[in-house]
């Protein structure tokens, strides 16, 4: 496997998707670099917009270097990503650039929607799922599609692998949201209940708030307070999300989305070894602890 607990999932998708369609992973290395540069561009900007002070047990760039330098660094990484693709001279590089542009736009739309959710008390679960599909699913779909392009895959293979990546991305986000509430801080690098503390409209939270249960009504009262939540309120909020059935729903939905992803993988008719690696990678996204 090329990935480690999901953190290198995007370049792993590029390399293994190239192999899946009969190409050489080595030829797709520049494409994997480009996709990872885009991913890190999004992380730099997300940390600024979300005000996150730590990531993976380290201070975020904006807290060390300032807001302006962090934003400029993100912009530079995005520019470098396109430079890396163009420099390959690969016959499908232009197609890959178009796929990457579409993914970047989808990620930005998803992030804008996520920010807008902060000011709304009426976010629906369907809206939240669509946001996650753009914010996380689009770039994983891009990774698989770009890999397939650099591996010489035909249009149907590229499309099915893109859809495989998108569904893996949604499953990844569902699990990420679970870890943001119940994850071990020593593994995730985030403080316990960090998503609740920032009143994040994550998928489990919105599922709980939409459940029309006594737990959802009490959670809404806590979640919509303007004052900082106490430690006891954070613990209670997590309990209410679980009592509303949202923790179980999120894990079950991740498993269902994973099944959809594997259906698209099968329809891409991948080479056997790559199929096994992509299947293992997909399962990793819903069984990881950070």
- The confidence score (pLDDT) of residue 198 equals 86
Residue that has been written with the tokens 């890190």 in this structure = 40
Q: Is residue 26 part of a domain?
A: yes
pLDDT in tens, 58-113: 999 999 999 999 999 999 999 999 999 999 999 999 999 999 999 999 999 999 99
Q: Is residue 168 part of a domain?
A: yes
Q: Is residue 49 part of a domain?
A: yes
Q: Is residue 145 part of a domain?
A: yes
3-class DSSP state of 210: coil
Which alpha helices (DSSP H) does the chain contain, by range?
A: 9-20, 29-50, 61-65, 67-87, 93-117, 125-132, 138-150, 155-182, 185-188, 194-197, 203-209, 214-223, 231-243, 246-267, 272-287
Full-model pTM = 0.94
Q: Which domain holds residue 68?
A: 9-287
- The confidence score (pLDDT) of residue 93 equals 98
Distance CA 74, CA 107 (A): 14
Q: What is the mean pLDDT of the chain?
A: 95
Q: Is residue 209 part of a domain?
A: yes
User: Is 177:204 a contact under the CB 8 Å cutoff?
Assistant: yes
Domain count, the chain: 1
In this structure, what CATH number is given to the domain that contains residue 93? 1.10.600.10
Query: Shortest CA distance to 90 belongs to which of 19, 48, 34, 28?
Result: 28
Q: Is residue 4 part of a domain?
A: no
């Amino acid at each position: 496997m090329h990935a480690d607990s999901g953190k290198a999932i995007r370049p792993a998708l590029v390399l293994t998707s190239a192999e899946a369609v009969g190409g050489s992973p080595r030829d797709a290395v520049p494409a994997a670099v480009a996709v990872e540069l885009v991913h890190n561009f999004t992380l730099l900007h997300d940390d600024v917009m979300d005000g996150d002070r730590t990531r993976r047990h380290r201070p975020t760039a904006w807290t060390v270097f300032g807001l302006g330098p962090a934003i400029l660094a993100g912009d530079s990484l995005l520019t470098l990503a396109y430079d890396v693709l163009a420099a390959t001279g690969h016959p499908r590089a232009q197609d890959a650039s178009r796929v990457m542009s579409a993914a970047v736009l989808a990620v930005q739309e998803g992030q804008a929607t996520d920010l807008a959710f902060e000011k709304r008390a009426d976010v629906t679960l369907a809206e939240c799922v669509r946001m996650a599909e753009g914010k996380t699913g689009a770039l994983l779909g891009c990774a698989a599609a770009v890999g397939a392009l650099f591996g010489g895959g035909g249009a149907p293979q590229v499309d099915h692998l893109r859809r495989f990546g998108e569904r893996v991305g949604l499953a990844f986000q569902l699990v990420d949201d679970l870890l943001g509430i119940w994850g071990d801080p020593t593994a995730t690098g985030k403080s316990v209940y960090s998503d609740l503390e920032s009143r994040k409209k994550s998928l489990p939270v919105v599922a709980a708030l939409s459940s029309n249960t006594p737990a959802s009504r009490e959670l809404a009262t806590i979640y919509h307070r303007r004052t900082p939540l106490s430690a006891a309120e954070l613990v209670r909020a997590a309990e209410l999300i679980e009592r509303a059935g949202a923790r179980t729903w999120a894990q079950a939905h991740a498993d269902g989305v994973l099944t959809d992803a594997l259906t698209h993988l099968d329809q891409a008719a991948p080479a056997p070894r790559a199929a096994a690696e992509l299947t293992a990678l997909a399962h990793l996204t819903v069984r990881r602890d950070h």
